[in-house]
Amino acid sequence: MKTQLNFKSVFCGLLIGVLATLAIGAGVATNETGRFQAVIGSNIGLLVDTQTGKVWTKCWPTTAELKTDADFSEPKLPVPKPAEAK
């Protein structure tokens, strides 16, 4: 069985694939990778913001003398709002 390739279609498909790859990679870069570090022990957890130095703690019931921060489960960065539909 002989298959004919339409080189114009192959070229267009390849070009679209390359452009799509470039468009995906051209998004806005942030330096947020590695910003938060988590440390978990047998009955305590710490979340450290390495840019600001803020530390949140979480203690499990076996550690009565330690306290959990009230905002431990809250988002640590502002969540962007979706664009409003026009």
Domain spans in the chain, listed from the N-terminal domain onward? 34-75
By the 8 A CB rule, do 66 and 57 touch? yes
What is the pTM assigned to this prediction?
Answer: 0.40
Rounded Cα gap, residues 5 and 8, in angstroms: 9
Mean per-residue pLDDT, 23-44: 77
By the 8 A CB rule, do 61 and 70 touch? no
- In the predicted model, is pLDDT for residue 73 greater than 80? no
Residue 77's region, left for phi above 0, alpha for psi from -120 to 50, else beta, is beta
By the 8 A CB rule, do 77 and 85 touch? no
Rounded Cα gap, residues 82 and 47, in angstroms: 27
Mean per-residue pLDDT, 24-43: 77
Helix H or strand E encompassing 49? strand 44-49
